[in-house]
Structure 1
Amino acid sequence: MYSAPALKPPTLDEVEEISKKLGLNIPLEDLKGHKEFLDKMCGQLNILKDITEPRLPVRYPRTPGYRPTEAENALNGWCWKTDIKGSPTGKLSGKKVGIKDNIGVAGVPMSVGSKMMEGHMPEYDATVVSRILDEGGVIKGKTTCEDLCFSGSSATSYNGPVLNPHDQTRSSGGSSSGNGALIASGEIDMAIGSDQGGSIRIPAAWCGIVGIKPTFGLVPYTGALTLESSIDHLGPMARTVYDCALLLEVIAGNDGLDSRQPMNIKVPEYTKLMTEEVSGMRVGLVKEGFEKCDPDIERTVRDTVQQLKTKGTTVDEISIPMHLKGCSIWIGLAFQGNYKTLIQGGGSSGKGFYPTTTQDFLEKAVKSHPRDIPPTIAPTLLLGEYLSQNYGSHFYSKAKNLERVLTDAYNTALEQYDVLMMPTICFRPTKLPPKDASILDVVSHCRGIGVYNPRAFNITGHPAITVPIQDDGSLPIGLQIVAKHYAEPTLFRIAQAVENIHKGVV
């Protein structure tokens, strides 16, 4: 396990070089005095080396598991197999659960889909992992994710592409790619994904399962690798709305560590609230959500939503022009935010648990193996450095301000409607790039995933669920449903109604 070295005070030459780089140009005599102060501060910082950090609890024994063989991994959805058992009883008793490989499981390798992270083994269980084990879930392994989780396709993991179970020549979606494939194929019952720009909802939609990005902060992110703390979400994926609601009951609520979370979150028993009728509910079908939509997807979505009228709902087509600006705002946050996290090592902000061994491992890998930075992230870092050098944090800060404008636009609509609806993704799962594809072709493929519908709600933090609505043997289609902050009970009620329509349940 990598351990940061003792802090060595800077030499006078190094202090002078830093002074010039920062544009301070401090006279040499003054620098000598500053260096004496820096020597004392480095001495104080070295005291921290001998103080034991608090750790997240690891309550259940386990073995490290093993890397699956090709025969055990037909879709390449597993990066590591385990059989970690927790409590013998609980809400998840008997459920087989997968954990996306950017979420810490103590004593089990965590590569985050990247060659850069190969060999890293966390010594902590993420909060969501502990909660699953406390409720009787069995963790069957770490699921394949995209390289550093920065792709909406399933083509970039250094373990190889994850195949769509409905057509193995096509993408399963990303970056929680393994979750979608393994749940859809029946190998696991449910999984935890992370979602910064649709990474739960894209693979759920393309694999024909259910996935929810909960309200921002409802589920503690503690113990998962961050990309940009203001858009980080963890959430459930499963074959049914009920199982997603059940898993959310288990993992939601304050852990006292994650500064993303507001105080005193109340977590209802979502599964007990799903039996309520949807009669009288109002649905806003967002016109802008059909931008550049495949005609058959638009027709299927509209037909499904219209069928809700038979259950007593009101359906209106509405316009939210700011919806189409969401992708640009997301780029302002995610690109420079990811640059700061990965290159500058900022990680999460605020109080909380910082997985220092994981952060140290990644920061060392970035410096010592820069050529292993994935091609999907390289343009992000180039843009982040360019913006930082020439524009400071202007566009990041403006995106943060516009986040409020976008949030207000949805909130205004949600004052009149219980939920908003639109396609999750406006086109079918794409063909995976050929094995001999160039780096630029792979990047172009991954960047081409149309994610403007999912991305907007990472910015605003509204809960958003995708439910499959196609069952004619063709490739899956997902319907995205959005509700007010912390209105997950409403989301599950209407999602259950949509699922019943999909399954032909009256």
Structure 2
Amino acid sequence: MPVHPPAADQLRQIAERCGLSLSEEDLSAYRNLILDLLPAYTQVERMAAPRPATSRPRTPGHRPAPETNPLNAWYWRCSLRGADDGPLAGRTVAIKDSVAVAGVPMANGSHLLEGHVPDFDATLVTRVLDAGGHIVGKAAGEDLGFSGGSHTCHTGPIRNPWNLARSVGGSSGGSAALVAHRDVDLAVGGDQGGSLREPASWCGIVGLKGTYGLVPYTGVFPLEITLDHIGPMGRDVAGVAALLEAIAGTDGFDPRQPPGLVAEPYTRSLAEPLGQCRVLMVDEGFGWPAASQDAVDEAVRDAAYLLEKAGASVERVSIPPHRSGYDIWTAIAYEGAAQHMLRGGTCGTNWKGYYDTALLGRFTGALRTRPQDLPSTVKLLWLMGEYLTEHYHGRYYALAQNLVPVLARAYDDALAEADVLAMPTVPMTATTIPPPDASLEESMAATMRMGVNTAPFSVTGHPAVTVPCGVCDGLPVGLMLVGKRWDDARVLRVARAFEERVGGFPTPPAPISDTARP
């Protein structure tokens, strides 16, 4: 697609928008200078750039029929078989529909991307297949990944296997529901503010948001480059460790990753003794006004003390900055995502890595012609982000980013004397899915405030795992364990020790029949 020379009127309009006062003579001169630059763009168009590899045969698959999708958790069914052997051999895996799988449709929960078919595999997809995993479909998720509920996906609400009237959380709700319902062994989910850990908690499974940059994000629909994480979900800690071991490590494309990063033997480390483990329960993670449920707080406290049976010491600690973490996340997420995802068309600028130009073209074209198809969550994001940028010129985004080291240091100081921090993953059990005729305010309320404990660690990049720790009124509760950055192995080891103390994690009371859907 060649760059067409700008007409004089086009340059004049651009100059006016930029506040530039240019004479006709100036405009003519600038146009001639631009014409001298255009051959470089033509040359770039002709060059071949490196791209992530795509291997192994596959078929496009099909959209599942409603009777085979009782939770509405599948977006697409397919069958991509991996290597004959490997650490994931014999295990079925669901890939969140924000992740590129060559030849398989990807909508990321949005009308705007319906019909988009990636032409390459995300790095993590290649690694799952190389490790012997069998990818059996794309898990449905929230519209463009910006919701803590599970009712904004353009294919309809994703329902909780514990109670069909309840949310699974978002945005990786389909991934969590499919694992909990035993449709798959493992799943991949994204996490920019808790989007992996929240649905894992509400579905009673294990989910890990690893250290920022541990798993390559190449080929995954981005939200905000400083918040983007992708990670494993499973029914037990061993499965999550195995999937992490397969997908972690640098790929040479993702600037979120330090060079030379390699995956550790996470599965083998689970067998190592816990040693003199110190667990600190963070006071500020409990008792959130208008969010925390007393029963959830009590279940998590009781669960944390079970680690004493594994030889750990469990104490309380106060980290006051934790209560500001969600505010810092808000200031980064809204303006940052408006710039990177919306204005930048999923790519933005000023970072080194692989730019998915096909996704860029599809998304920006749809966004320009059909903005009304955006969900209310993203409309709010866009309005808020544009207002802040237009009137405050990035000031509050910058202030929030400058506070990230302060928040991170508060956690680091506590972790200098401990192995993990503990708190509720989500301070309440799964909320009710709002009805189709809910007001805008009611619908939006069901997408917010789940992430008060999870979002701060998406900001700071500390590894955080959620493990089921109990059931309140028939709904799962999650315990979140947070560790030092790049100490993901120890976080998993503590989670495994807890798993051994409780004798396994709960499962939904019964499989859901095709007729059980409300």
Range class of TM-score, shorter chain? over 0.9
Q: Is residue 2:464 matched to residue 1:464?
A: yes
Aligned with residue 216 of structure 1, among 212, 215, 221: 212
The aligned residue for residue 387 of structure 2 is 386
Q: Is residue 2:363 matched to residue 1:333?
A: no
Residues 201 and 454, structure 1, Cα contact 8 Å, conserved in 2: yes
Question: Could you tell me the percent identity over the aligned residues?
Answer: 42
Change (3 A) 1:206 1:313: same
Cα distance in 2 for residues equivalent to 1:504 and 1:45: 58
- 202-211 vs 288-297, which moves further: 288-297
AA aligned to 1:323 is H
Residues 103 and 225, structure 1, Cα contact 8 Å, conserved in 2: yes
- Residues 257-277 of structure 1, C-alpha deviation per residue, up to 9 Å, x if partnerless? 111101221322111111122
How many Å apart are 1:471 and its aligned residue?
5.0
Cα distance in 1 for residues equivalent to 2:501 and 2:309: 10
- 28-37 vs 124-133, which moves further: 28-37
- Residues 447-482 of structure 1, C-alpha deviation per residue, up to 9 Å, x if partnerless? 2x4211000000000000000011588200000000
- Residues 25-46 of structure 1, C-alpha deviation per residue, up to 9 Å, x if partnerless? 1222112111111122233213
Aligned with residue 117 of structure 1, among 113, 116, 133: 113
How many Å apart are 1:327 and its aligned residue?
0.7
- 140-149 vs 310-319, which moves further: 310-319
Aligned with residue 90 of structure 1, among 86, 89, 92: 86
How many Å apart are 1:114 and its aligned residue?
0.2
Cα distance in 2 for residues equivalent to 1:193 and 1:434: 26
Cα distance in 1 for residues equivalent to 2:263 and 2:186: 20
- Residues 94-126 of structure 1, C-alpha deviation per residue, up to 9 Å, x if partnerless? 110000001000000000000000110000100
Change (3 A) 1:473 1:294: closer
Cα distance in 1 for residues equivalent to 2:136 and 2:83: 15
The aligned residue for residue 508 of structure 2 is none
The aligned residue for residue 491 of structure 1 is 491
The aligned residue for residue 427 of structure 1 is 428
Structure 1 segment 264-283 matched on structure 2, within 5 A: 264-283=260-279
AA aligned to 1:478 is G
How many Å apart are 1:21 and its aligned residue?
1.1
The alignment partner of 2:470 has SS state of coil
Cα distance in 2 for residues equivalent to 1:362 and 1:10: 24
Cα distance in 2 for residues equivalent to 1:472 and 1:246: 30
The aligned residue for residue 372 of structure 1 is 373
The aligned residue for residue 352 of structure 2 is 351
- 222-231 vs 469-478, which moves further: 469-478
How many Å apart are 1:129 and its aligned residue?
0.1
Give me the CA root mean square deviation.
Answer: 1.4
Q: Is residue 2:141 matched to residue 1:145?
A: yes
The aligned residue for residue 477 of structure 2 is 477
How many Å apart are 1:378 and its aligned residue?
0.6
Residues 12 and 31, structure 1, Cα contact 8 Å, conserved in 2: yes
How many Å apart are 1:54 and its aligned residue?
2.7
Residues 310 and 501, structure 2, Cα contact 8 Å, conserved in 1: no
The aligned residue for residue 397 of structure 2 is 396
The aligned residue for residue 45 of structure 2 is 49
Cα distance in 1 for residues equivalent to 2:212 and 2:71: 31
Cα distance in 2 for residues equivalent to 1:349 and 1:96: 37
The alignment partner of 1:62 has SS state of coil
AA aligned to 1:315 is V
Cα distance in 2 for residues equivalent to 1:387 and 1:42: 34
Residues 165 and 184, structure 1, Cα contact 8 Å, conserved in 2: yes
Q: Is residue 2:247 matched to residue 1:251?
A: yes
- 339-348 vs 171-180, which moves further: 339-348
- 384-393 vs 432-441, which moves further: 432-441
Cα distance in 2 for residues equivalent to 1:438 and 1:479: 32
The aligned residue for residue 285 of structure 1 is 281
Gaps of 5+ in 2: 506-518
Cα distance in 1 for residues equivalent to 2:350 and 2:175: 28
Change (3 A) 1:349 1:226: farther
Cα distance in 2 for residues equivalent to 1:298 and 1:267: 34
Cα distance in 2 for residues equivalent to 1:414 and 1:228: 27
Cα distance in 1 for residues equivalent to 2:490 and 2:464: 11
Q: Which runs of 4+ in 1 moved over 4 A?
A: none
Change (3 A) 1:504 1:220: closer
Q: Is residue 2:497 matched to residue 1:501?
A: no
The alignment partner of 1:416 has SS state of coil
The aligned residue for residue 455 of structure 1 is 455
The aligned residue for residue 513 of structure 2 is none
Residues 148 and 446, structure 2, Cα contact 8 Å, conserved in 1: no
The aligned residue for residue 107 of structure 1 is 103
AA aligned to 1:153 is G
Structure 1 segment 54-203 matched on structure 2, within 5 A: 54-203=50-199
Residues 279 and 311, structure 1, Cα contact 8 Å, conserved in 2: no
The aligned residue for residue 295 of structure 1 is 294
The aligned residue for residue 230 of structure 2 is 234
Residues 287 and 297, structure 2, Cα contact 8 Å, conserved in 1: no
AA aligned to 1:463 is P
The aligned residue for residue 319 of structure 1 is 318
The alignment partner of 1:37 has SS state of helix
Q: TM-score, normalising length from structure 2?
A: 0.94
- 374-383 vs 157-166, which moves further: 374-383
Gaps of 5+ in 1: none
Cα distance in 2 for residues equivalent to 1:353 and 1:238: 29
The alignment partner of 2:479 has SS state of strand
AA aligned to 2:381 is T
How many Å apart are 1:445 and its aligned residue?
1.7
Cα distance in 2 for residues equivalent to 1:69 and 1:363: 30
- Residues 378-429 of structure 1, C-alpha deviation per residue, up to 9 Å, x if partnerless? 1111111111111101111111110010011100001011100000001110
The aligned residue for residue 33 of structure 1 is 29
The alignment partner of 2:475 has SS state of coil
How many Å apart are 1:442 and its aligned residue?
1.5
Cα distance in 1 for residues equivalent to 2:19 and 2:504: 68
AA aligned to 1:308 is L
Cα distance in 2 for residues equivalent to 1:331 and 1:173: 18
How many Å apart are 1:435 and its aligned residue?
2.2
